[in-house]
Structure 1
Amino acid sequence: MRIALIAILAVVLIVAGRTMLWTLDESQQAIIVQFGEPIGDVIDDPGLHVKLPWQQVRFFDKRLLGWDGDVTQIPTLGREFILVDTTARWRISDPLQFLRSVRDERGARTRLDDIIDSVVRDMVSSTQLEEIIRSRDWNVDLDAIDDPVLVERDDVVLDERPKLGRELLEQEILTRARRLMPELGIELADVRIKRVNYIDSVRRQVESRMIAERQSIAERFRAEGQGRSQEILGEMQRELRRIRSEAAREAEQIRGDADAEATRIYGVAFGEDPEFYSFFRTLESYRALGPNSTLMLRADSDFFRYLEQSQAD
């Protein structure tokens, strides 16, 4: 009987130890719940603790927890439909209120989906796209931009700072969402917009517009190139005509000088011996006749004067 009592007592102690003793990790905080209602204060001291067998322990994480919202399609103030992907970091600041309002992390994430998505939608729909994408402290150096499309477009003002900017937009979203967190026992630490993109239909329109703009620039460059080509060809033709004109003028001058010199030489030669000069010129004319040439001349023609004289001699 004594052994049986000891065994029963040991079993009771083991069962009581398993149901009454519990440990708390450093990264957690806990609340004791009795019949569905929290009992006592929040326990955040790590180590071994005791509870009654009919009580339960609900554990809550002390660390920062992540929240990633669904990619949402939202129209901006300029009616551009964009896809917004948002993320946030939060922690459980009041476990008692957290337990009463959302009970667990799954319920908290559901409420965060509703609150943060609603605030993001309201802010994005009342903000221009440039304010969502650009930062307030982003300085644009227009001289460093070599894209003529951006420089020449009237609807894009590159050198004007955003009135709000991405950072202030995210800060405003965080401020508005925090107003609803205390009643949930949640502290919202940060909200960020991870990605912004056009929806498929708008993206295709933007791509088509970009292609059209690039084609327009290409056509303008081609037209400017053709105009420059015609200008260069025109200058080349004018220069070529000038060179040819100067060459022709110089050639005529050289010919004139040569003819004058030849005439002078002929004159000098004729003056030295007119008879020999006449004889020489006649012989030159004989050289022009071919072997099969036939001339019909009078007998007393000057052409045969020297031949007649040679026969007479």
Structure 2
Amino acid sequence: MTQKSQAFITIAIITIVVIIIIVSSSFYVVDIKSQCVITQFGRPVKVVQKPGLNVKTPFIQKAKFFEKRIIEWDGEPSDILTRDKENIGINTWARWRIVDPLKFYTSLGTESRGQGVLDEVIESSVKNIVSSYPLNEILRNTNRKLEYTTVELEKAEMDKKVRVSHGRSSLVGEINKMANEGLRERYGMELVDVRIKHVNYVPAVIPKIFDRMRSERIRIASKYESEGRREEAEILGYMKKELEKIESEGYKIAVETRGEADAEAIRIYADAYKKAPEFYSFTKTLETYEKTIDENTRLYLSTDSEYYKYINDFIEK
């Protein structure tokens, strides 16, 4: 191969490489999930939002792509003092999108800066709205009656007279509206939705809340215990009264029965002794001997005493 041929091949290769570089710098593709801003020496000159193959001036113009879909934003928990002086930690999330890529590029330039703007805007709106409402408005949507484990807890809640006039959904709507103000005009952004992820008391307050809950449960337990002791006293009093009544009636019946039995026995004895008075006198005298005289007894009586009547008769016989 001659020197002339080698030079020709080298020039051809260089030409092909230059053409490839020029072509690759002239064409760009915008897909369905992206939008593009064309800049010339750093100054935006064109916005492309339709998907497809497009042409730009090579080396002079550059394509800056932005997300066309809805973008996720996740905030950090922040401590807020509600209107009723409850110190809570609240965490939010949001979804946003770029609606004006030209304004977004000129004001922010990157999506990360857009996230930073939302950090400030949403956090400020959440603090302003949440701090102007009591805690029950943040936690609940309606005045629907809640289910409680005890009647005392339900009564305690009713005594607080908790009423929901706006509700959490309304507060979220206010946050969304406040955070959205000026975003489109200043940054070309739009908040699609803002939601409260969770609400909790701050760590420093949680022990006090538990102590308050514990005190409430102790108060309810003491009330149950007091009512139990009162009912126990009533039951024991009633039982004692009934027992005394039963014993009294039983004693009355026993006395009456014993009296009737004694009367019947006396009547039987009287009838028997009436039929044999001498036998009655004899048996009674013997009983008297048995009860009054033993081996250690000494009696000094005259011989004509009635006490020796039956003995004398026995001796004479």
Note whether the superposition's TM-score is higher than 0.5. Answer: yes
Deviation (angstroms), 1:304:
4.2
Which residue of 169, 172, 184 maps to 2:171? Answer: 169
Partner residue, 2:280? 277
Instruction: Name which of structure 1's ranges 146-155 and 105-114 shifts more when overlaid on structure 2.
Output: 146-155
Which residue of 193, 197, 201 maps to 2:196? Answer: 193
8 Å CA contact retained: 1:181, 1:187: yes
Question: What does 1:215-254 correspond to in 2, within 5 Å?
Answer: 215-254=218-257
Separation in 2, partners of 1:45, 1:25: 5
Change (3 A) 1:293 1:203: farther
* 2:153 aligned with 1:149: yes
Deviation (angstroms), 1:303:
4.4
Change (3 A) 1:283 1:36: same
Q: Displaced runs of 4+ in structure 1, greater than 6 A? A: none
Change (3 A) 1:113 1:147: farther
Partner residue, 1:59? 65
1:183-242 per-position Cα deviation (integer Å, ceiling 9, x unaligned): 211121101111111122332222222211221221122111111111111111111111
8 Å CA contact retained: 2:96, 2:191: yes
Deviation (angstroms), 1:258:
1.2
Which residue of 90, 94, 98 maps to 1:92? Answer: 98
Separation in 2, partners of 1:278, 1:2: 176
8 Å CA contact retained: 1:150, 1:156: no
User: What letter is aligned with 2:237?
Assistant: G
1:49-90 per-position Cα deviation (integer Å, ceiling 9, x unaligned): 333332221111111111111111111111222111111111
Partner residue, 1:107? 113
8 Å CA contact retained: 2:47, 2:101: no
User: What letter is aligned with 2:45?
Assistant: I
The 3-state SS of whatever aligns with 1:200 is coil
Which residue of 71, 81, 84 maps to 1:75? Answer: 81
Separation in 2, partners of 1:98, 1:153: 50
Tell me the TM-score normalised to structure 2 length. 0.88
Partner residue, 2:309? 305
Deviation (angstroms), 1:155:
5.9
Deviation (angstroms), 1:24:
2.5
Change (3 A) 1:212 1:29: same
Partner residue, 1:36? 42
User: What letter is aligned with 2:120?
Assistant: D
Which residue of 42, 49, 55 maps to 1:50? Answer: 55
Change (3 A) 1:42 1:309: same
Instruction: Name which of structure 1's ranges 204-213 and 127-136 shifts more when overlaid on structure 2.
Output: 204-213
8 Å CA contact retained: 1:42, 1:95: no
Structure 1 segments unaligned to the other structure (5+ residues): none
Partner residue, 1:178? 180
Deviation (angstroms), 1:178:
1.6
8 Å CA contact retained: 1:74, 1:124: yes
Structure 2 segments unaligned to the other structure (5+ residues): 1-6
8 Å CA contact retained: 2:29, 2:51: no
Identity over aligned residues, as a percent? 37
The 3-state SS of whatever aligns with 1:194 is strand
Separation in 1, partners of 2:157, 2:93: 34
8 Å CA contact retained: 2:37, 2:64: yes
